[in-house]
Amino acid sequence: MGWLEAIVLGLVQGLTEFIPVSSSAHQLIVGQLFHHDPGAAFTAVNQLGTMLAVIVFFFRDIVHIIKQWALSLVGKVDRSDMDARMGWFIIVGSIPIGVIGLLFQDQIENGLRNLWITVGTLAGVGVILWIADWYSGKYARKGIESLTWRDAVIYGLCQTCALIPGVSRSGSTIAGGLFLGYKRVAATRYSFLLSIPAVLASGLYELKGIGGTMDVGWTPTIIATVIAFIVGFASIAWLLRFVSTHNFRPFVIYRVLAAIAVAILVITHVISPMGA
């Protein structure tokens, strides 16, 4: 992987990680345009950059959640405290994707990286997000303080869908939150917080695949990850402002158009469905 590809993939990761269009799908598609699938390991490690952006952006919230959760364990904070409960909700919501990710690691890193699957998930989840957004516009009343154990588990199950390129971690969890009756900002904010343990664990686990037998070395990986952090930080701020006054329809339209574009590229043999 050259520097230009690393820079482009870093920009793509930062721009697409938090908006519901699937960063893994875009990494896969852009890699194919460079005639080189960057691989699941590079994608996972590159996501560490955008996760660092989440940690920095929500640093005060994260520190307070950890503090309240820890104090609740020793009885110094009531276990009904919202931030103490939030700590448990994030832990419980992160379990499904960890279990499924380990059980189906080979399929996730190989078989599911098929662009025809990506075409289907880009369009399909786009339709689901459109329905969820419509439902939310009529019935959403909940703020993040309304989160329950049941909702945390459902959020976690929705997040497991993001293991398939094209689904989108933010897209699946935000759609799940909208169907549960959460307002757009609340669903988006919790989606960001829930993603931290899973993405950090995945990225750190995949570090072993960088610079070894893979065709991706440490230098391009670091370049892409730093760029992803910078661009990702700006994307978080923009998306939270955007959803406070707009719906998700532009992302739905983009997903469908992207699915059509990828299908055309595969049919015309510009890119290969299973890698170069």
pLDDT for 213 equals 44
The answer to whether 36 and 1 are in contact (CB under 8 A) is yes
pLDDT for 38 equals 66
Q: For residue range 214-253, list pLDDT tens digits in order.
A: 556 677 778 888 999 999 999 999 999 999 999 999 999 9
pLDDT for 26 equals 86
The answer to whether 181 and 140 are in contact (CB under 8 A) is yes
pLDDT for 275 equals 56
Q: Name the pTM for this structure.
A: 0.84
Low-confidence ranges of the chain (pLDDT < 50): 213, 276
The angle that helices 218-243 and 39-57 make with each other, rounded to 10 degrees, is: 50
The answer to whether 68 and 233 are in contact (CB under 8 A) is no
d(CA 154, CA 176): 7
Residues 6+ apart with CB under 8 A from 5: 31, 34, 36, 38, 220
Residues linked to residue 142 through DSSP beta bridges, in sequence order: 182
The angle that helices 115-139 and 169-179 make with each other, rounded to 10 degrees, is: 30
pLDDT for 6 equals 82
pLDDT for 50 equals 86
